[in-house]
Amino acid sequence: MAVFALIPAAGMGKRMGASINKQYLLLDGVPILARTLEVFQRSPLVGGIFVVIPQDEIPFCREQVVEQYGLSKVRSIVPGGAERQQSVLNGLRAMEGVAADDDVVLIHDGVRPFVSEDILSRATAAARENDGALVAVPAKDTVKVVENGVITATPPRETLWLAQTPQAFRYCVIRAAHEIADAERFLGTDDSMLLERLGRPVRIVVGDYRNAKITTPEDMVLAEAFLKEKQQ
Protein backbone atom coordinates (compact mmCIF):
# COMPACT_ATOMS: atom_id res chain seq x y z
CA MET A 1 0.00 0.00 0.00
CA ALA A 2 1.30 3.41 -0.97
CA VAL A 3 1.09 6.48 1.28
CA PHE A 4 0.05 9.94 0.10
CA ALA A 5 -0.06 13.25 1.94
CA LEU A 6 -2.98 15.63 1.47
CA ILE A 7 -2.13 19.10 2.79
CA PRO A 8 -5.05 21.56 3.05
CA ALA A 9 -3.70 25.11 3.20
CA ALA A 10 -6.59 27.13 1.82
CA GLY A 11 -7.49 29.04 4.98
CA MET A 12 -7.31 32.83 5.21
CA GLY A 13 -5.72 32.94 8.67
CA LYS A 14 -7.72 35.93 9.97
CA ARG A 15 -6.70 35.30 13.59
CA MET A 16 -3.07 35.85 12.66
CA GLY A 17 -3.78 39.43 11.64
CA ALA A 18 -1.02 39.39 9.00
CA SER A 19 -1.00 41.01 5.57
CA ILE A 20 -0.53 37.61 3.88
CA ASN A 21 -2.07 34.21 4.54
CA LYS A 22 -0.44 32.52 7.51
CA GLN A 23 0.95 29.57 5.51
CA TYR A 24 3.35 31.98 3.75
CA LEU A 25 4.64 33.70 6.89
CA LEU A 26 8.37 33.16 7.33
CA LEU A 27 9.67 30.94 10.11
CA ASP A 28 13.41 31.63 10.28
CA GLY A 29 13.33 32.77 6.67
CA VAL A 30 11.29 29.85 5.27
CA PRO A 31 7.50 29.88 4.65
CA ILE A 32 5.58 27.80 7.19
CA LEU A 33 3.96 25.79 4.39
CA ALA A 34 7.36 24.96 2.89
CA ARG A 35 8.58 23.69 6.27
CA THR A 36 5.50 21.50 6.58
CA LEU A 37 5.86 20.08 3.09
CA GLU A 38 9.55 19.39 3.65
CA VAL A 39 8.63 16.90 6.39
CA PHE A 40 6.65 14.83 3.88
CA GLN A 41 9.26 15.37 1.15
CA ARG A 42 11.91 13.79 3.42
CA SER A 43 9.72 10.93 4.65
CA PRO A 44 10.52 7.58 3.02
CA LEU A 45 6.90 6.56 3.69
CA VAL A 46 5.33 9.21 1.47
CA GLY A 47 5.11 8.62 -2.26
CA GLY A 48 3.31 11.79 -3.28
CA ILE A 49 1.90 15.05 -1.94
CA PHE A 50 -1.29 16.90 -2.90
CA VAL A 51 -1.56 20.51 -1.72
CA VAL A 52 -4.86 22.40 -1.54
CA ILE A 53 -4.55 26.19 -1.95
CA PRO A 54 -6.92 29.06 -2.83
CA GLN A 55 -7.31 29.20 -6.60
CA ASP A 56 -5.67 32.60 -6.99
CA GLU A 57 -2.62 31.56 -4.95
CA ILE A 58 -1.71 28.49 -7.01
CA PRO A 59 0.93 30.21 -9.22
CA PHE A 60 2.56 31.82 -6.17
CA CYS A 61 2.56 28.54 -4.25
CA ARG A 62 4.04 26.65 -7.20
CA GLU A 63 6.83 29.18 -7.79
CA GLN A 64 7.64 30.44 -4.29
CA VAL A 65 7.12 27.23 -2.31
CA VAL A 66 7.12 24.05 -4.40
CA GLU A 67 9.76 25.02 -6.98
CA GLN A 68 11.78 27.31 -4.70
CA TYR A 69 12.32 24.53 -2.14
CA GLY A 70 12.62 21.58 -4.52
CA LEU A 71 9.50 19.79 -3.32
CA SER A 72 9.51 17.16 -6.05
CA LYS A 73 6.96 14.89 -4.38
CA VAL A 74 4.16 17.42 -4.92
CA ARG A 75 1.94 15.77 -7.53
CA SER A 76 -0.72 18.46 -7.77
CA ILE A 77 -1.77 21.84 -6.37
CA VAL A 78 -5.55 21.75 -6.06
CA PRO A 79 -7.98 24.68 -5.75
CA GLY A 80 -9.57 24.91 -2.30
CA GLY A 81 -13.21 25.31 -1.35
CA ALA A 82 -15.18 27.68 0.86
CA GLU A 83 -14.67 25.42 3.90
CA ARG A 84 -11.78 23.17 4.94
CA GLN A 85 -13.99 20.12 4.43
CA GLN A 86 -14.64 21.08 0.81
CA SER A 87 -10.93 21.69 0.30
CA VAL A 88 -10.12 18.19 1.56
CA LEU A 89 -12.79 16.69 -0.69
CA ASN A 90 -11.33 18.56 -3.66
CA GLY A 91 -7.96 17.06 -2.79
CA LEU A 92 -9.37 13.55 -2.46
CA ARG A 93 -11.10 13.85 -5.82
CA ALA A 94 -7.82 15.03 -7.38
CA MET A 95 -6.18 11.84 -6.09
CA GLU A 96 -8.59 9.63 -8.06
CA GLY A 97 -6.64 7.43 -10.45
CA VAL A 98 -3.44 7.97 -8.47
CA ALA A 99 -4.33 6.56 -5.05
CA ALA A 100 -5.66 2.97 -4.90
CA ASP A 101 -8.54 2.10 -2.56
CA ASP A 102 -6.29 0.66 0.15
CA ASP A 103 -3.56 3.30 -0.07
CA VAL A 104 -3.17 5.46 3.02
CA VAL A 105 -3.89 9.19 2.96
CA LEU A 106 -2.30 11.40 5.62
CA ILE A 107 -4.40 14.57 5.89
CA HIS A 108 -2.26 17.21 7.58
CA ASP A 109 -2.66 20.93 8.24
CA GLY A 110 -0.35 23.07 6.16
CA VAL A 111 0.59 25.11 9.24
CA ARG A 112 1.77 22.25 11.47
CA PRO A 113 5.47 22.16 10.52
CA PHE A 114 6.75 20.21 13.53
CA VAL A 115 5.15 16.82 12.92
CA SER A 116 7.71 14.05 13.32
CA GLU A 117 8.58 11.05 11.18
CA ASP A 118 7.65 8.84 14.14
CA ILE A 119 4.12 10.26 14.20
CA LEU A 120 3.75 9.75 10.45
CA SER A 121 4.87 6.15 10.82
CA ARG A 122 2.56 5.33 13.71
CA ALA A 123 -0.44 7.04 12.09
CA THR A 124 0.16 5.15 8.85
CA ALA A 125 0.40 1.81 10.67
CA ALA A 126 -2.83 2.51 12.57
CA ALA A 127 -4.68 3.47 9.38
CA ARG A 128 -3.64 0.21 7.73
CA GLU A 129 -5.19 -1.78 10.60
CA ASN A 130 -8.30 0.34 11.25
CA ASP A 131 -10.82 2.48 9.41
CA GLY A 132 -8.93 5.59 10.46
CA ALA A 133 -6.44 7.05 12.89
CA LEU A 134 -6.38 10.41 14.65
CA VAL A 135 -3.21 11.92 16.10
CA ALA A 136 -4.11 13.60 19.41
CA VAL A 137 -2.72 14.55 22.80
CA PRO A 138 -4.39 14.34 26.23
CA ALA A 139 -5.99 17.56 27.48
CA LYS A 140 -3.79 19.21 30.10
CA ASP A 141 -6.41 21.54 31.52
CA THR A 142 -9.84 20.95 33.01
CA VAL A 143 -12.49 21.59 30.35
CA LYS A 144 -15.85 23.19 31.13
CA VAL A 145 -19.06 22.96 29.10
CA VAL A 146 -20.65 26.42 29.10
CA GLU A 147 -24.06 27.64 27.96
CA ASN A 148 -25.05 31.32 28.13
CA GLY A 149 -22.02 32.06 30.27
CA VAL A 150 -22.83 29.41 32.87
CA ILE A 151 -20.95 26.12 33.43
CA THR A 152 -23.24 23.16 32.77
CA ALA A 153 -20.77 20.26 32.99
CA THR A 154 -17.16 19.30 33.69
CA PRO A 155 -16.22 16.26 31.59
CA PRO A 156 -13.64 13.89 33.13
CA ARG A 157 -10.29 15.17 31.90
CA GLU A 158 -8.95 11.65 31.32
CA THR A 159 -11.55 11.19 28.56
CA LEU A 160 -10.61 14.37 26.69
CA TRP A 161 -8.04 14.51 23.88
CA LEU A 162 -6.98 17.42 21.68
CA ALA A 163 -7.11 16.55 18.00
CA GLN A 164 -4.05 17.19 15.85
CA THR A 165 -3.03 16.08 12.39
CA PRO A 166 -2.21 14.02 10.45
CA GLN A 167 -5.46 12.15 10.42
CA ALA A 168 -4.82 8.95 8.50
CA PHE A 169 -7.23 6.81 6.51
CA ARG A 170 -7.42 4.29 3.72
CA TYR A 171 -8.32 6.24 0.59
CA CYS A 172 -11.58 4.44 -0.16
CA VAL A 173 -12.84 4.95 3.42
CA ILE A 174 -12.20 8.67 3.74
CA ARG A 175 -13.26 9.43 0.16
CA ALA A 176 -16.61 7.69 0.75
CA ALA A 177 -17.14 9.47 4.08
CA HIS A 178 -16.48 12.86 2.48
CA GLU A 179 -18.74 12.15 -0.48
CA ILE A 180 -21.58 11.11 1.85
CA ALA A 181 -21.13 14.23 3.99
CA ASP A 182 -21.11 16.39 0.87
CA ALA A 183 -24.29 14.78 -0.46
CA GLU A 184 -26.01 15.21 2.92
CA ARG A 185 -24.67 18.76 3.37
CA PHE A 186 -23.10 17.81 6.68
CA LEU A 187 -20.19 19.98 7.82
CA GLY A 188 -17.87 18.48 10.43
CA THR A 189 -15.06 20.04 12.41
CA ASP A 190 -12.44 17.54 11.22
CA ASP A 191 -12.08 14.51 8.96
CA SER A 192 -12.41 11.84 11.64
CA MET A 193 -15.84 13.23 12.56
CA LEU A 194 -17.11 12.16 9.14
CA LEU A 195 -16.27 8.53 9.99
CA GLU A 196 -17.58 8.83 13.56
CA ARG A 197 -21.04 9.86 12.33
CA LEU A 198 -21.13 6.71 10.18
CA GLY A 199 -20.26 4.47 13.13
CA ARG A 200 -16.77 3.74 11.82
CA PRO A 201 -14.09 3.45 14.55
CA VAL A 202 -11.16 5.84 14.55
CA ARG A 203 -8.06 4.84 16.52
CA ILE A 204 -6.16 7.38 18.64
CA VAL A 205 -2.43 7.77 17.95
CA VAL A 206 -0.60 9.66 20.69
CA GLY A 207 0.86 12.85 19.26
CA ASP A 208 3.26 15.50 20.51
CA TYR A 209 2.45 18.88 22.08
CA ARG A 210 5.06 20.43 19.76
CA ASN A 211 2.96 19.36 16.78
CA ALA A 212 0.97 22.56 17.17
CA LYS A 213 -1.06 24.44 14.59
CA ILE A 214 0.25 27.96 13.96
CA THR A 215 -2.85 30.15 14.09
CA THR A 216 -2.12 33.25 16.17
CA PRO A 217 0.85 35.61 16.72
CA GLU A 218 1.47 33.82 20.02
CA ASP A 219 1.79 30.54 18.12
CA MET A 220 4.53 32.10 15.99
CA VAL A 221 6.53 32.89 19.13
CA LEU A 222 6.24 29.27 20.27
CA ALA A 223 7.08 27.99 16.79
CA GLU A 224 10.26 30.05 16.70
CA ALA A 225 11.23 28.61 20.09
CA PHE A 226 10.52 25.04 18.93
CA LEU A 227 12.58 25.61 15.78
CA LYS A 228 15.49 27.04 17.74
CA GLU A 229 15.42 24.05 20.08
CA LYS A 230 15.28 21.65 17.13
CA GLN A 231 18.28 23.29 15.46
CA GLN A 232 20.50 23.05 18.54
Angle subtended at Cα 129 by Cα 124 and Cα 130, rounded to the nearest 5 degrees: 95
- Residue 12 is predicted with a pLDDT of 64
pLDDT at 191 over 60: yes
Whether residue 16 has pLDDT greater than 70: no
**Phi-psi category of residue 149: left, alpha or beta, with phi > 0 → left and psi -120 to 50 → alpha:** left
Task: State how many domains the chain has.
Answer: 1
Instruction: Please give the share of the chain, as a percent, with pLDDT higher than 90.
Output: 89
Q: Tell me: the pLDDT tens digits for 47-73?
A: 999 999 999 999 999 999 999 999 999
Q: For residue 54, what is the domain's CATH number?
A: 3.90.550.10
pLDDT tens for 87-131 read: 999 999 999 999 999 999 999 999 999 999 999 999 999 999 998
Residue-number span of the structural domain to which 45 is assigned = 3-231
pTM of the model: 0.94
CA-based nearest residue to 164, from 220, 129, 232, 116 = 116
